[in-house]
Structure 1
């Protein structure tokens, strides 16, 4: 009886170790939309989430929050259309230029909605986020 228990324990231990070491190549690099079982959000959901986030971070008024929501909704819909347009083209120079122009337009419109203090705080939060991202990328390599 002891031998059977010892063999059973040894088998389960070795099976656990073997399964922990196997990682499929497909499992390593998941697409963003598949991570943690998340589904792709609609542009409306993304705009609402971003507007709430900025309202909290920048103490926006109700009117500003609504304008920011509309700005983000238009931006996310445009981004979705561009993804479909450039789906097979990859990262071309034309796509990069269009993305830069879209971002500049977005920043100009956001600057009109926000007060000077709010925009300064937004720019600082954005710069902090970029620095944090750079530090994470540097740590990975």
Structure 2
């Protein structure tokens, strides 16, 4: 089944709140080789004016993944995980993610284009904090392989 073009403009329900934990930030920082002390040491982060450790910029993907799971679970999407390649990722921040943040994300599908029998599906996840303030916009492009 090809990717459903009617996905464009679809907005998914907000995710359940994700509480950013200090250890999760530390683990993620180690995984991506972000060795600045602000990512692992609360004292270093506080010296920079933050309430707790600061997540590396790509940490927003952890929250965005919750939204992408919604997209992949859509029965009418025409997207099969076995044919998906994560082609592109971008982030636009209003402020850094810090341990203790409670984040929610809302995904919208912003575009689909055909490329050589495949589909490029672009989506944006708007990530907000517990007060509703914008934290980040995470944009993903998924390459969905065509039927064999």
Q: TM-score of the superposition, structure 2-length normalised? A: 0.27
Q: Which has the higher strand share?
A: 2
- Structure number with greater CO (CA < 8 Å, separation at least 6) is 2
Q: Which has the higher helix share?
A: 1
Structure (1 or 2) with the larger CA radius of gyration: 1
